[in-house]
Amino acid sequence: MTKSYQNAMAITRILGKTSFVTFTANPKWPEILRQLKPGQTADSRPDLVAIVFKQKLDALHELKVTNIFGKCVGDVFTIEYQKRGLPHAHILIFLQDQDVPRIEEDVDKIIQARLPTNDPALAEINKGQMTHGPHLS
């Protein structure tokens, strides 16, 4: 782990500022739930969770390749397993200098954290996922 950290820091010295992405497996992903037998939970199928997580991580990688966040000039990632057994990726993305968000408006163009207001059912689904703290809107 120390060697990986040192490598990431060396890359950062050359490529500059990073964007940090955290990606966590969700045991309620439909791709997992469809494959579970009656009485099974995602905890009892770490193989299935790992496969679906890898598929989703690959899809996230495609977003990077298509330059949706700007021109990516490098990336570093590590996968860890949380106490409850779910894979969790920490990803550093290095963007071309002119694509690095510098002001609040730049960040707001690529990141939004709003609950849907026109669909109460969808808003409730969102609240049950990765929501931290009080809801402001």
Question: Which residue, among 29, 19, 27, 6, has the nearest Cα to 102 in the 3D structure?
Answer: 19
Mean pLDDT for the stretch of residues 114-124: 80
Summarize pLDDT for 21-57 with one digit per residue, the tens.
Answer: 899 999 999 999 999 999 999 999 999 999 999 999 9
Strand partners, 20: 92
CA-only gyration radius of the chain, Å: 18
110-to-100, 105, 107, 114 alpha-carbon distances in Å: 11, 9, 6, 13
Placement of tokens 């106490």 in the chain? 83
Instruction: Give the pTM.
Output: 0.76
User: What is the predicted pLDDT for the residue at 52?
Assistant: 97
More confident position, 134 or 25: 25
* DSSP classification of residue 84: T
